[in-house]
Amino acid sequence: MATNSRNPETVVLHAGYRSDPATTAVAVPIYQTTSFQFNSPEHAANLFALKELGNIYTRIMNPTTAVLEERVAQLEGGVAALALASGQAASMFAVQNIAQAGDNLVSSTDLYGGTWNLFANTMKQMGIECRFVDPSDPENFRRATDARTRCYYAETLPNPKLNVFPIAEVAKIGRELGVPLIMDNTAAPILCRPLDHGAAIVMHSTTKWIGGHGTSIGGIVVDGGNFDWEKHAARFPLLNQPDPSYHGAVWTQAVKPLGPIAYIIKMRVTLLRDIGAPMAPFNAFLFIQGLETLPLRLRQHCSNAVRVAEYLSKHPKVARVIFPGLMTGEAKRRADAALKGGYGALVGAELKGGRDAGRAFIANLKMFYHVANIGDARSLAIHPATTTHSQLTPDEQKQTGVTDGYVRLSIGIEHPDDIIADLDQALASV
Ligand code: PLP
């Protein structure tokens, strides 16, 4: 049988799967098929009517992807999950599942640029307003809330500032007002379980640490099963009023016998059905491979990051190191409240030589890869002011924590001495 363990090392290997029912294969097989044959016309009708859950068509579900979904759901302490083609699709679906034209969400300003664009521009075109607030004061979320607010949204460990989000504080405000908190936990898998701190929904770009090898784009949304959508029926008509696209199903009622999974089932059978963006079974297989060693890799990522942060903080050409473990005051308190077992793999450094030093440093790295990605097993680096954040005005750059000399490092799992040696020689040349 699959495991009931809470320990991540066991969950990533055993949750949701023991062996393949068709072949007894121990490794999760790749079910590279579009469709699944029905046993009978009655079976087919039952599946479509959600009287029975089962495989119909890979746009909506697939047995390989289902194992990844169960594992990540159990890892996060949630009740069910939905894997998608990318982290961007996961962010979009997480909000769109409960918000429509005329509604709004309140989001932290400390966001991945792609999510910022999605909320500020694409969702705006769909009539959903995003109200961005400074997370340093959790009460900003309350102040921005009104009757049409459908969710709060934030990242556990947002870069480049690396200020850990006050999950428990904002989740508490949301629960008082009937607003669920959606957390992007991409940069802190295992280190943080946002659902334990009161969040209602968690998403990941599995592209990053879960995949861990820089091979595939993917995303996942986890339903915490801990938010009372019925109690706040006026705020969530999409879950509490008859859905004309599904014979008038009321999602909070229709799937009650299956557990508190109204949110994620509705996402699967309406948004995924209509918009598409499923995760490909082959990518799900690669993410399962990545997930199996995630706890082990993460320990090395985190201990290497500490070594790098300490090394950089003593370097004469570095003005400031941005790393949760080296923060003080409220920022450190928040990091320690949310993260257990490490401070993540991201390290920021502001070079005294400004823009020219930042660019020269990146150009001179020999082992680090110069890429826009994070969360690879290899060490990665980028100079945000001239790349990821170059379209922002200098003022906007400052607000997002990007200064001219800022370099972002995603620390890999190489031997720490080799990581430091590469940084050392690159810094010597600026
Ligand atoms: N969330 C965070 C924190 C990210 O860093 C990224 C990508 O960089 C995304 C979401 C989007 O994920 P994807 O690139 O898989 O669409």
0.95 surpassed by pTM: yes
Q: Indicate the residue among 289, 316, 341 that finishes a domain.
A: 289
Same domain, 25 and 108: yes
Beta bridge partners of 57: 35
Give the domain extent around 331: 296-428
User: Any idea how long the chain is?
Assistant: 430
Same domain, 160 and 17: yes
Residue 1 included in any domain? no
Same domain, 375 and 341: yes
Cα–Cα dist 267/425, whole Å: 50
- DSSP line for 294-343: HHHHHHHHHHHHHHHHHHHHT-TTEEEEE-GGG--HHHHHHHHHH--S--
Query: Is residue 298 within 8 Å of 408, Cβ to Cβ?
Result: no
Q: Degrees (nearest 5) of the Cα angle 153, 386, 327? A: 55
Where are any strands of DSSP class E within 249-403?
318-322, 346-351, 369-370, 380-382
Domain count, the chain: 2
Residue 21 included in any domain? yes
Count of C-beta atoms within a 10 Å radius of residue 312: 25
Residue type, 25: A
Distance (Å) from CA 90 to ligand 1 centroid: 9
Q: Which two tokens stand for residue 192?
A: 């943080």
Query: Is residue 82 within 8 Å of 272, Cβ to Cβ?
Result: yes
pLDDT value of position 376: 97
Q: Ligand 1: which of 108, 109, 112 to mutate, judged by most atoms within 8 Å of the beta carbon?
A: 112
Same domain, 52 and 194: yes
Cα–Cα dist 277/342, whole Å: 33
Same domain, 285 and 145: yes
Residue 134 included in any domain? yes
Residue 52 included in any domain? yes
Same domain, 316 and 268: no
pLDDT value of position 282: 98
User: In the chain, how long is the greatest CA-to-CA distance?
Assistant: 74
Q: Which two tokens stand for residue 215?
A: 């091979």
Cα–Cα dist 151/259, whole Å: 22
Show pLDDT as tens, one digit a residue, over the chain (430 residues). 688 899 999 999 999 999 999 999 999 999 999 999 999 999 999 998 888 889 999 999 999 999 999 999 999 999 999 999 999 999 999 999 999 999 999 999 999 989 999 999 999 999 999 999 999 999 999 999 999 999 999 999 999 999 999 999 999 999 999 999 999 999 999 999 999 999 999 999 999 999 999 999 999 999 999 999 999 999 999 999 999 999 899 999 998 999 999 999 999 999 999 999 999 999 999 999 999 999 999 999 999 999 999 999 999 999 999 999 999 999 999 999 999 999 999 999 999 999 999 999 999 999 999 999 999 999 999 999 989 888 778 887 887 888 999 999 999 999 999 999 999 999 999 9
Q: Indicate the residue among 289, 315, 345 that finishes a domain.
A: 289
Which residue matches tokens 């629960």?
Answer: 175
Residue 394 included in any domain? yes
pLDDT value of position 276: 97
pLDDT value of position 51: 86
- The number of C-alpha atoms within 13 Å of 313 and in the hemisphere containing its C-beta is 14
Same domain, 285 and 300: no
- The number of C-alpha atoms within 13 Å of 380 and in the hemisphere containing its C-beta is 19
Query: Residue 149, Cα to own-chain centre: how many angstroms?
Result: 21
Q: Indicate the residue among 273, 289, 305 that finishes a domain.
A: 289
Cα–Cα dist 183/8, whole Å: 19
CATH number of the CATH domain containing 311: 3.90.1150.10
Same domain, 218 and 320: no
Same domain, 284 and 300: no
Ligand 1 atom having least distance to the Cα of 159: 3
| Nearest alpha carbon, ligand 1 atom 14 | 87
Q: Is 254 exposed, middle or buried (0-12, 13-18, 19+ CB in 10 A)?
A: buried
Beta bridge partners of 126: none
Cα–Cα dist 182/119, whole Å: 14
Same domain, 105 and 203: yes
Cα–Cα dist 286/377, whole Å: 14
Ligand 1 proximity of 8 Cβ (cutoff 6 Å): no
Same domain, 253 and 342: no
Residue 84 included in any domain? yes
Ligand 1 proximity of 217 Cβ (cutoff 6 Å): yes
Q: Ligand 1: which of 88, 165, 374 to mutate, judged by most atoms within 8 Å of the beta carbon?
A: 88
pLDDT value of position 1: 61
- Give the 3-state secondary structure of residue 124: helix
CATH number of the CATH domain containing 215: 3.40.640.10
Ligand 1 proximity of 87 Cβ (cutoff 6 Å): yes
Cα–Cα dist 340/342, whole Å: 6
Distance (Å) from CA 175 to ligand 1 centroid: 27
H helices of 5-86, where? 8-14, 41-48, 63-76
Same domain, 278 and 316: no
Residue 3 included in any domain? no
Cα–Cα dist 195/223, whole Å: 9
Residue 2 included in any domain? no
| Nearest alpha carbon, ligand 1 atom 2 | 112
In this predicted model, what pLDDT tens digit does every residue of 319-367 receive, in sequence order? 999 999 999 999 999 999 999 999 999 999 999 999 999 999 999 999 9
Query: Residue 10, Cα to own-chain centre: how many angstroms?
Result: 21
- Please measure the distance between the N-terminal and C-terminal CA atoms of the chain and give it in whole angstroms: 57
